[in-house]
Every structure is written in structure tokens, then in C-alpha cells.
Structure 1
Amino acid sequence: MKPLVSIIIPCYNHSRFIKEALDSIVADTYPNKEIVIIDDGSKDDSVPVIKHWIDNNRDQNVKFTSRENNGFCKTLNELVDQSTGQYIVLLASDDVLINNTISDRVTILKERGKMVLVSDAEVINDSGELLFSSMLTGFHKAIKEKYYTSEGILDEIIFNFSISGAVVIMDRKIFNLIGKYPEDLKAEDLFFYLSSASLNQILFWDKVVSKYRIHSSNTSGVNPELTKTVIKTYKRLFFKIPGFKRKLKLVKRLLGIYYHRFKNNQSF
């Protein structure tokens, strides 16, 4: 039997998009999967939309929790704890899985002996219109070639963090190595990927596996508070970065951030 894959979905005020996200899971033909959803205190109609979908898809293995707002990182940790699959796919409630890739991604992780597999995504807007065919190179201007080596992945995460959307599948054992998502940091994705890359546990598969949706409620752009938490994340992980040269690179990156903030009269 194929190993169980848990698709975990944190939802907050995405009543417009959550049905499409859930339908995309069913469209993937991987035979052994569970869907774990937590609504983090949505103020729109997300909860009734989810309940209606579950009522109409009783053949699906779904766990659904609705509660007051506790924040994104706490929700992620609860989702990981509630899930039971050997492998975990993180799907934001406004994103979409495409191209029927879960089976291939499970096989790659099993055969290559790593714990995290990162892929690419299309970028769409509120209406589902295509903005970029590649999240990595089109949206983030990443150097995709670097993702083919462990050293290149780590360098890209440090200097040009470019991973967005539902592009990761992970072996749940990775959390035994790096711990849970830190609930005092807003850059939980940077923490996860930098921690995993520092342990040489990330692989890259050059395949579009999802659609990453850009809209007004995304956390993106220049955000002074987010910059502060990026600094905090780098400092916290400094001693986990392997190699003296790479530690120097991280120091260089931090100094660059500090200089930019000083130049723009931003407080720390």
C-alpha cells in the first residue's frame, strides 16, 4: 500500500478560494491521502463553505477543526500534530494543486533518501489568471540552476529566498530534526527551509506542482516588521549553518540588511 500523505490546510478568510483548493486535492489521483483543515477564526464564510464541501465529498478522508484565531504558526503546528501521514503536503487555502504530482513526489523522496522536496508553481491572481509560468524564475527572479545542488539551495535561501506557494512535500520526520514552526517568528517558511537546507535535507524537482495565488491579503512586499523577523530568524539559526565560509555569508547578509535599514532610517 502507498504511504499515507497528509495534505494540511490552514484557512483564514478564504471563502472565495477554499473550494478550489479542496477540489484540487481530489483531482490528484494519489490513492492514500488525508485532508486536515483548521480554520483559524475566519470572519467570512469559510467555515460554512468547508462544511458544505465535506458534506458533498463524504468519500474523502477529512479532519476539520474550526476555532478562534491563534495565528498562522500555531495553526501549522496543530495541523502537523493532527495529521498522521508519513508525508505532508502544505497547501494554503487560496492555492491549488495541479498536474497530478503527489505520487511522483513521494517516489522521489523515498528513492533519494531526503526529507524535503521543493518544486515550482505557476503564479495566478484573484481570478485565476496566469501571471507567471514559474514562481521561482518569473515571480522571484531566482537562479533555478542553484537549486540542483545542496550548496546552491542553501545559498539561494540565505541570499535570495524564493520559495512560495504549495511547492513542498516533506517527510514528517523532518520535524524531529528541526523542531516545530517557531510561534514567535513571522518568517516561519524561512526558518523551515533554512533549517532543512542546513541539514542537507532538501531536494529540488523542476516541475510545476501548484498554482500560487497573489492577491491583496498575501503577506508580501517590503514590510519592516517582516524584515525584523527575518533578521531574528538568521540570528537564531546562525550556529546551525554548516561551514565557516557559509557563516561568513550569513553575516554578510545580515550586515546588508542592517545597512539597508540604516540607509532608509528604519528602526531596529
Structure 2
Amino acid sequence: MTAIWTIRPRHKLAKLLAYIRYPLNSSERKLFRGRLIETIEFNGFQRRQFAGPKSVSYSGLLLDAEYGISVEDGLPVFRDARTPTISVIIPNYNHAAFLKERIRSILDQEIEFHELIILDDASTDDSRNVILETIRDISVPVRLVFNETNSGSIFRQWEKGFELAKGDLIWLCESDDTCDPRFLGTLVPYFSDPSVMMAFGRIDSIDREGIVVPQSGLSLSASKFWGAPIIASAYSWFNGPFGNKNIVANVGGCLFRRQEFSPDIFSELASYRICGDWYLYSRVARGGRIAYDPNAKAYFRVHTSNSSKASLKSESFYNEHVRIAQALRRHYEVNKSAIRLLLQNAWAICVANLGYAAGREFAQGGLIGEVMKTPRNINHILLILAACDEHVVSAACRLANTVSGRGEDVTVLLSGDASFFDRAHGFLSPSVSILPSIFAERMGLDLFLTEFGITMVWVSDHEIGGMGEACRSLRIPLHKSSFEGLDFSALGPEARSG
């Protein structure tokens, strides 16, 4: 039986090494220790950096002229030149004191958004009057939904906002937070890459007056890891830093693609009181990639009426961390090191807020071992499609959309020119991530399949050279098909062993 509170020796080692390295310089010692801890907690996570495209245009698309945009790796992507529409959703409850600032921070963005949806959950303060006064003269279409009775769940309000939203991208803005005017302008370009499902920025805490609150750990500005843009697969994010802790502290610090979710997803989301945002991030990222850019700045307000701060005194906060750990195991088969750190971090917060007795109760028994027994039950299916006629493209894309609609993760790897990519892109659901086949080839097929957590591969008549060998070495089932007349039931979780 392993107690969570005994598993912090590497943090203590980092502190010791920092003292040895910088015995007389406390600032350098803190910086060095923080960077060592980052290395520990990020669990071998590999960054794929975004440098911006050098591009030429093809029928509404951009294709990188050098087949490579990554600063470090030269990994290629197709780029969608069409400007995405953006739905902004503000769920509010009793934040009249901050609403004007929040709405102004959205209206002051340097790029346009396409609709503003404001949901008031039966506030008992002056919220409604503040909302009406602030939006009175704005030109953006506004949808107001004022509940007569409180829904009892912020996540129910989120669901309502998703149902109303029409944009390609969703920006869900908590009503007591704020952001920099360049927030949207920094993150939206990432979505020209159709493999990017979610993007987030640097998030600092502020107090009631809007003054930045110093961080107890390594500051983001000093962090080696968080100092540069990053783009990587959702699978590697959740087996790295995103599996250890909720690194997007406020949902307003990110953007994600609007997708059709099953009622089961919303039901699961609403069952959380506190950690639903973390669960949502894991679902919207799907089988694609997540981008981070420190130049997109958002601010998370910490104050006495803040629900996140109050939740630290609730046992639900810690119980939901166990549920999140299980959910991440089901979706991304998150490794033991990340799960250990997730529960460790929850235990440390529990001790700080509820005391050692509560922490001991939280960590009793073989908690890590029990969580690790949770099996993966969401496939990540890779569908490889070479240039072919319209009939085959349509059939393959219908297959991808159907499987994605059932809750599986789907990535389509396309081999062909930009006009072929354009045709396929038009058939595919926003929940399906898309990459050119040269991406996997340049990355190395074994590394690509591993980093994206692929559990099954479907190919048309034209197979990427070496894919069969890579699948055999990693024991990943590979199926060849014309993509017509397929039995979708063969794509269930049990098929992974086939």
C-alpha cells in the first residue's frame, strides 16, 4: 500500500540540488528548483512549437510552402485560410461588481467575434441591470437568457450556452474574470490548423481590484517551459502537464472548436460541481492537438465570493480529483507517473486547506493502484485517406463522422494536394482532427502513433509506407478497406485487441 503523502522525494531532491547549486543566492535557487520541479511534473512531455506560417494559397486553403512550420521539428500542417466565426458565452451569477469589466474586455478585443451569449442564472444582485446597461449600444449580435430560478450548476449553464452557440469556435468567459485585448488575436490563428482542437494562453491570478497576485511557485515569466508557444497532441498533454493538474485555471483562458456532444457527455459534465472544466478540456481536445501561447493573456480573479476558492474547503474538490483521474485513464490511458502527481497535488491542497487528518483520509488505502485499474474505453482511430474519387472520399468521411459521433476520437491523415484536402475537409465534422500524411512520415510513424495514443488504424488501398510495420511493432490493429459497407460495431473498444 502506497500512501500519497510519502511520494514527494523528487521535490525534496530538487530543493536539495538547488541549495547545492546556489547556496548563497535565494532568487537563483528558487528559479533552479522551480525548473527542476517542472521537469519532474511534466513527465517527459515534448513540445511542438508554433512559429507562424510561410504560406501560399490554394482554393481557400493555405499549404505551408516548405512543408514545415515547427520551430524545432519542421513538422508540417495544412492551413485553413477561412476566418472562423466565434461565439462568446458569458455565464453569470451574482457578479455585478465585475460584469462591466468582463464585457468590456471582450468588446475591446482586436479581432471581431460574431455573437455574444449572456446567461444570467437568476442573480440576486444588480447583474441584470449592469448587463443591459453595458450592452445597450454595442453592434455585435447579443442573445440574453435570464433564468427565473437558479439552475444549481454552472455546468448546466455551460451546456445551455453550447446549445445556443453557432460559431466555429467557442470562448466561454467566466463573468468575474478578464483578459488582454490581444487574447483572441493571438489564439484564433492556431485554429487555421485543423488538427488543433483547443488553444489556451497564459493565466495569471488577480485580486478583487484587478492587481496581479504573486504566484507561490515558479512564475510564468521565469518558467523555461511556459515561456514559449507550444503545440502538441492531446494524448501527450494529458500524459504530461495536463494530466498532473488543471493547467487552464479559468475556462476563459482558452478557446475550443464547437462540437456536437452526446447527452452522456453533458450528463457527466453536470455531475461535477468543481472539476467539470478539466473534464470538458479532455473531451473538446479529442484526438487532435492543443496549442499554448503565453502572449494570449487571461486573468483569473480570486476573491471571497469566488467559487473556485470556496471549493478548496469542500470534500467534493478532492473526491472529484479521483473521478478526473479515472476519466483521464478512460480517455487517454494516462500513465502512472501523471496519475501519481495528480493525486499528490490534490493531497497537498487538501492538507493546506483541511489539515493533515483530512489529507490522511483522502490518501488512505491503495488509491493510486485503484485508479490505475481503470481501463481505457475510448478509442483513438486513425483513418488514412489517399487522393481518390469523390465517392470514396465521401464514404470515408461519413465513417469518420459516425465514429466520432459515437464518442471515439478520430484523426484523418490525408495524402494528396491541397485541393484534395479541401474536398475532404468539407465533408468532415469539426470533432475530427485532420493532418497531412507527411506529418506522420517526418515525425516517424512509431513516434506519431505513440504520441497521439492511436489504438486502431484504417487505411484505404494506398498505405503510408511502413505503417503496417509500425502497427505490428506497437501491436495496433490495422484494417484495409474501401470505406464502403463497413460494420461500425467493429470499431468498439474491444476491437483494439484484434
**What's the TM-score bracket when you normalise by the shorter of the two chains?**
0.7 to 0.9
Q: Which amino acid aligns with 2:253?
A: V
The 1:7–1:216 alpha-carbon spacing in structure 2 relative to 1, beyond 3 Å, is same
2:320 aligned residue: 229
1:129 aligns with 2:240: no
Question: Whole-Å Cα distance in 2 between the matches of residues 143 and 112 of structure 1?
Answer: 25
1:9 aligned residue: 90
1:43 aligned residue: 124
2:173 aligned residue: 91
Q: 1:64 aligns with which of 141, 144, 162?
A: 144
3-state SS of paired residue (2:270): coil
2:259 aligned residue: 173
Question: Whole-Å Cα distance in 2 between the matches of residues 98 and 134 of structure 1?
Answer: 23
1:160 aligned residue: 245
3-state SS of paired residue (1:3): coil
For residues 14-29 of structure 1, the aligned pairs below 5 Å read 14-29=95-110
Question: Whole-Å Cα distance in 2 between the matches of residues 222 and 138 of structure 1?
Answer: 26
Alpha-carbon deviation of 1:247? Answer: 3.4
The 1:43–1:160 alpha-carbon spacing in structure 2 relative to 1, beyond 3 Å, is same
The 1:230–1:34 alpha-carbon spacing in structure 2 relative to 1, beyond 3 Å, is same
Moved more, 6-15 or 224-233: 224-233
The 1:159–1:234 alpha-carbon spacing in structure 2 relative to 1, beyond 3 Å, is same
Q: Which amino acid aligns with 2:131?
A: I
* Contact persistence 2:269–2:280 (CA under 8 A): no
For residues 95-114 of structure 1, the aligned pairs below 5 Å read 95-111=177-193, 113-114=195-196
List structure 1 segments (4+ residues) > 4 angstroms apart after TM superposition: 132-136, 253-263
Alpha-carbon deviation of 1:253? Answer: 4.7
Q: Which amino acid aligns with 2:255?
A: I
Alpha-carbon deviation of 1:251? Answer: 4.9
For residues 197-208 of structure 1, the aligned pairs below 5 Å read 199-208=287-296
Q: 1:212 aligns with which of 292, 297, 300?
A: 300
* Contact persistence 1:122–1:134 (CA under 8 A): no
3-state SS of paired residue (1:144): coil
Question: Whole-Å Cα distance in 1 between the matches of residues 215 and 130 of structure 2?
Answer: 29
Calculate the TM-score normalised by the size of structure 2: 0.47
Moved more, 75-84 or 24-33: 24-33
The 1:138–1:215 alpha-carbon spacing in structure 2 relative to 1, beyond 3 Å, is farther
Alpha-carbon deviation of 1:101? Answer: 3.1
2:162 aligned residue: 80
* Contact persistence 1:89–1:170 (CA under 8 A): yes
Alpha-carbon deviation of 1:233? Answer: 2.3
The 1:95–1:255 alpha-carbon spacing in structure 2 relative to 1, beyond 3 Å, is closer
1:241 aligned residue: 332
* Contact persistence 2:89–2:172 (CA under 8 A): yes
Alpha-carbon deviation of 1:133? Answer: 8.6
Question: Whole-Å Cα distance in 1 between the matches of residues 228 and 360 of structure 2?
Answer: 31
Q: Which amino acid aligns with 1:162?
A: I
Question: Whole-Å Cα distance in 1 between the matches of residues 197 and 260 of structure 2?
Answer: 6
Give the gaps of 5 or more residues in structure 1. none
Q: Which amino acid aligns with 2:186?
A: D
Question: What is the root-mean-square deviation in Å for CA atoms of aligned residues?
Answer: 3.4
3-state SS of paired residue (1:115): strand
2:480 aligned residue: none
Q: Which amino acid aligns with 2:241?
A: E
Question: Whole-Å Cα distance in 1 between the matches of residues 136 and 228 of structure 2?
Answer: 45
Deviations 1:202-249 (A, max 9, x none): 11112233222111122134532111112122223422114xxx3333
* Contact persistence 2:196–2:289 (CA under 8 A): yes
Q: 1:264 aligns with which of 348, 357, 360?
A: 360
Moved more, 249-258 or 18-27: 249-258
Give the gaps of 5 or more residues in structure 2. 1-81, 351-356, 365-498
Once the two structures are aligned, what percentage of the paired residues are identical? 20
Q: Which amino acid aligns with 1:190?
A: W
The 1:199–1:147 alpha-carbon spacing in structure 2 relative to 1, beyond 3 Å, is farther
The 1:233–1:22 alpha-carbon spacing in structure 2 relative to 1, beyond 3 Å, is same
Q: Which amino acid aligns with 1:167?
A: G
3-state SS of paired residue (2:202): strand
Question: Whole-Å Cα distance in 2 between the matches of residues 136 and 87 of structure 1?
Answer: 32
1:144 aligned residue: 226
Calculate the TM-score normalised by the size of structure 1: 0.83
Q: Which amino acid aligns with 1:106?
A: V
The 1:54–1:197 alpha-carbon spacing in structure 2 relative to 1, beyond 3 Å, is closer
3-state SS of paired residue (1:42): coil
The 1:248–1:131 alpha-carbon spacing in structure 2 relative to 1, beyond 3 Å, is closer
Tell me which structure has the larger Cα radius of gyration. 2
